[in-house]
Amino acid sequence: MATATTRPNERWLLGRYDYPLIHRVIEVVVVTVFVGFAVPFAWQVGVGLIERWQWWHLLSLVIVVSAAYAIADLVSGVVHFAFDNLGSPQTPVIGQKFVRPFRDHHDDPTAMTHGDLIAVNGDNVLASLFLLVPASFLLDARRHPIAGTCVLTFIAGVIATNQIHKWCHTPDVPRWVRTAQRAGLILSPAHHDVHHRAPFRNHYCITWGHVDVLLDRLTRRARFAGRPERG
């Protein structure tokens, strides 16, 4: 959730960011590696679907895509809940990199809207590699395109999470984004605003939002001292 204070000597080369150059280089490398794995994997899935298409695959795809998207939403909520409530910015290893951005976001929800595409989504692209790389080697996506579709949908949901979250705090978004929000296809500002109102203990899911129905029940009685009772 980086802000967008641009360094003139870096903007022309690697985009808009306000953190160390080495961090930006790593993000660019990660995105490049992701594309290198994702494109051939998606190609194999597409070829497999064409070669093995049966009428019942349509129903299978609807079920698989919906389930994978819901799981991605659940994961976003669990991660959000954990970093909002567990540990502190001083926690070793994860404190500064993961806990602090979530806590700072509650102090300034709009800060994340200033980051560019890589700054906002780079960390999630990195996280997705831990599934995409093994799947590329272990799953024959051409022979099992439905399973490959499940993997791709989950990864897409994970990667899109921060962008969808960013759109909820962006006043002026493209018309198609607003349409998707109103249709309930992605997290809507109205749904997410609940998380930023007292008691700040629910609506943690930040991809789709609908899985909050389940997660809110699981976290309703949880009380942690990691984050003060504030927005």
Q: Tens digit of pLDDT for each residue in 17-26?
A: 777 788 888 8
Q: Is 104 a domain residue?
A: yes
Q: Is 84 a domain residue?
A: yes
- Structural domains of the chain, count: 1
d(CA 22, CA 217) in angstroms, rounded, equals 41
pLDDT tens figures, 7-18:
444 444 567 777
d(CA 39, CA 92) in angstroms, rounded, equals 36
155 CB-side CA count, 13 A: 25
Q: Is 227 a domain residue?
A: no
Domain holding 22, by residue range, is: 8-219
**pLDDT of 222:** 61
Mean pLDDT (whole number) for 135-146: 96
Cβ partners under 8 Å of residue 177, min gap 6: 167, 186
Q: Is 228 a domain residue?
A: no
Give percent above pLDDT 70 in the chain: 89
pLDDT surpasses 60 at 58: yes
d(CA 86, CA 99) in angstroms, rounded, equals 8
Q: Is 225 a domain residue?
A: no
Pick the closest to residue 77 from 214, 226, 229 (CA basis): 214
Q: Is 130 a domain residue?
A: yes
Q: Are 19 and 2 in contact (CB under 8 A)?
A: yes
pLDDT tens figures, 196-225:
988 788 999 999 999 999 999 888 766 544
- Which is higher by pLDDT, 200 or 185? 185
Q: Is 231 a domain residue?
A: no
Q: Is 224 a domain residue?
A: no
d(CA 82, CA 115) in angstroms, rounded, equals 23
Cβ partners under 8 Å of residue 86, min gap 6: 99, 224, 226
Mean pLDDT (whole number) for 158-168: 96
**pLDDT of 209:** 96
